Every structure is written in structure tokens, then in C-alpha cells.
Chains A and B, each alone.
Chain A
Amino acid sequence: MLNEGHEVSCLDEDPEAHARLEIELDRAWEDMGGQFTVGTALEIEALQAAGIERADVFVASTDGDNTNIVIAQIAKRRFNVPTVIARVLDPYRAEWYERQGLHTICPTRVAIDMLENEVRLAAKRAEGVVPQPGGVDAEDMD
């Protein structure tokens, strides 16, 4: 996102997370225009320090579904951030909150879809509809 010319601010409770941001960067995160704040997302002061009041987009992607759903709603209802996205691993809840108007991304759903596609493709190969990858014939499967 930084490379595309956007301004990015990260909030994390772990100060070590800053080092992870700089993996494969040839310059410091801040030199590239990034911002980093240590704090938890339920602290209003931390969100403000990270610049939520002037954000165009807010992404909630901590490792907890519940935390993400709560802070995404805070970003939306309290700070009126125009675009808010929450990472929710549980497909059932992701779907319900999406229907309530909260934009969710469900990595589990995405992975299930990809895996299903692969299985369908494999089934078609087994039927000989689609050629085997690497030129292997369907007969060799047995």
C-alpha cells in the first residue's frame, strides 16, 4: 500500500511487530511514510494517536474475530470512517455481520472456495474432461 503512494498507519499491542513491517524493505518503515503506534485497539486514545480521525479506510485484522468485529464497529459508528473492513475467520458470523452492513473478509471462506475449486478440477481430470497437469494421463491415477 505504501508503495502505491498511500499513507499507512499500523496499530499493534506488540512493539516487536514494527520489526516485522520492515522485512524485505530496504528503508525504515517511517522513511517510507509509514506510521506505527503501540497500543490496543479498544483504547480510544491509541486509535486517535494512530490517526483514525482522518482515515479513509480502517482495516481490523488482529488475530481475534471478536476484537475485529468490535473495533470495526467503533471505527464505523464512532469515528465515521468511510470504508471499514473486518477480518473474521468464522464464516457464519462473517456472513451475518456482512448482512448487517459491516464489510467482512473471511479467509476461511476464501480458502474453502479455493480448495473446492481444486477438488472439482481434480474430479474433472479424473473423468478425463480436463488434461492432467504435467501431461500425466488419467489412467496413471489408478
Chain B
Amino acid sequence: MPDRMYIIIVGAGKVGWNLTRELLDKGHEVTLIEDNRERYQTVEQELEHNIHYGDGSELWVLERAGISRADMVIAVTGDDEDNMLICQVAKEKYLVDRIIARVNNPRNREHFELLGIRPLVSATDLILRLIEHEVPEYGLVHLLDLPEQRLEIIEMLLPEDSKAAGQRVGELEMPEGSLLISVLRDGTGFVPNAETVLQPGDEILAVLDPTVEEDLTSYFGPTRRDVGNGARG
């Protein structure tokens, strides 16, 4: 990340306002755009010339904010259509290198993807992610998703009756396109070698092609697939 970027943020809600404040503190140049007069006036008292009044989905408003020299455009309004189009014109008309869009309604995610807009930030998805991480019974945690590169890193807890428990890493028959990269045991992590024996309760980290995820989870999962909730942990 360059030391000093020019960033345009559309939408001065809690997210946009705080983001602007943080980025200004880090020394970046930021213009925030807000189309609600009252909200604009409130925020303007603090941010002064760093906030513009106007509808950020209108091209002339973006141009007045200097979009042609922006390094990054972030659309965090409460309206998904606005966020989609702001990012679409930023990317396709003004050739801005980096865009970030907020998804308010997770059901609209597919529309953002259809228009080629990414990365996406969705509060609902973030909370779901946290739940997955906090509640290990959920089975599988996605640590990193790179769908474009067809790669992901997952964390998975080996259940008592895992087929892989008791096996040497060298004997594992993991699905093609997956690789065991680390094991977390009793609070410490290590990189396994061929002689490492997996134990129930181990948390394994694997890098894999997303298409083999199901094969991998069933490989490391319980022996009987039809176990009820009571059999977990």
C-alpha cells in the first residue's frame, strides 16, 4: 500500500465517517461524499473540506471529487444499487485501480458479482464468519478465500471417530488438489512431516482447490456420516 493514497468514500454513515477519520489519521487524502443534507452538515463540522455534498452515484459529483486521480473508491451507502453502480463506473469509466463495495443485503451479493464488483464487505457475512470461528462444532472455518485463484485455506477439527485419526501423515490419501500445511495441538501449531500421527482433537490447516472441499471434509470427518448432534466433539 502506497504511503499516501487518494481515496473517495461514498456514504457518510457510521462506516463511512469512521473510515474517513481513520484513513485521514494514517495520512491519506480522503474525500467523503454524502447526499443527505442534514447528515452532511453534521459530519462537515468535523471533517470540513474533506466531505462533499452530493449524490455519489452521479458522475459529475464523482468528477468534482476528483475521481480521475483516485487510487481507491469505497462505496458504503445503505443502498446496494448505489454501491454497485458507484463501483461499476469507478472501475469501468474512470479506471480506478481499487474498489471496495459494501453489501447491505446478502441476497444482493450475486448481483455485485455479476457486475464484476469485488472485493465485497458484508456485515452479515462477517458475523457469520465470526460465529464459525467461535463455534468450532461448526466443523470448518474458512481462513482465506481466493475464489479467482481457485484457492482456499481451511481449518478443521478432527472428530473422535475421524478416519484420519491415528494415521501417519505420510499415509494420508488426501484428495488431489489439497495439502496439509499445519496442525494445531494443545494450543501450539507445527508443520507436520510424514511421520506425524494425527490425533482426534487436532485442528488441521489445509490449502486446497475449493472444488475438493467436500471430499476433504468427508475424508477428515467422522467415519459415519449420519451422526447426530450428540456425537460431536
Chain A residues packing against B (C-beta within 8 Å) = 42-44, 64-67, 69-70, 73-74, 77-78, 90, 92-93, 96, 100
Contact = CB atoms under 8 A, between A and B. Distances in A.
Given A66-B85, A92-B60, A74 B80 contact: no
Given A44-B110, A92-B58, 19 more contacts: A42-B80, A42-B81, A43-B107, A66-B57, A66-B85, A67-B81, A70-B81, A70-B84, A70-B115, A73-B114, A74-B111, A77-B114, A78-B114, A90-B58, A92-B59, A93-B58, A93-B59, A96-B89, A96-B93
What does DSSP make chain B's interface, helix, strand, loop or mixed?
A: helix
B186 interface: no
A43 B111 CA distance: 10
Contacts of A92: 58-60
A83 to B, nearest CB: 19
Interface residues of B, number: 19
Contacts of B92: 100
B81 A64 contact: yes
9 contacts: A42-B111, A66-B82, A66-B84, A70-B84, A78-B114, A93-B58, A93-B89, A96-B89, A100-B92
B81 A66 contact: yes
Contacts of B125: none
Contacts of A90: 58-59
B108 interface: yes
A66 B110 CA distance: 17
A42 B82 CA distance: 13
B56 to A, nearest CB: 11
A66 B124 CA distance: 23
B59 A70 contact: no
Contacts of A64: 81
What does DSSP make chain A's interface, helix, strand, loop or mixed?
A: helix
Contacts of A69: 81, 85
A108 to B, nearest CB: 13
Given A92-B58, A93-B59, A100-B92, A73 B82 contact: no
Closest 10 CB pairs of A and B: A66-B81, A70-B81, A92-B59, A67-B81, A66-B85, A66-B82, A66-B57, A70-B84, A77-B114, A78-B114
Contacts of A78: 114
Interface string B92-108: 11000000000000011
Given A42-B108, A92-B60, A73 B81 contact: no
B115 A73 contact: yes
A123 to B, nearest CB: 29
Contacts of B58: 90, 92-93
Interface in B57-97: 57-60, 79-82, 84-85, 89, 92-93
Nearest to A76: B114
B81 to A, nearest CB: 4
A66 B57 CA distance: 8
Nearest to B116: A77
B116 to A, nearest CB: 10
Nearest to A100: B92
A133 to B, nearest CB: 37
A43 B80 CA distance: 13
A66 B93 contact: no
B79 A66 contact: yes
A70 B116 CA distance: 12
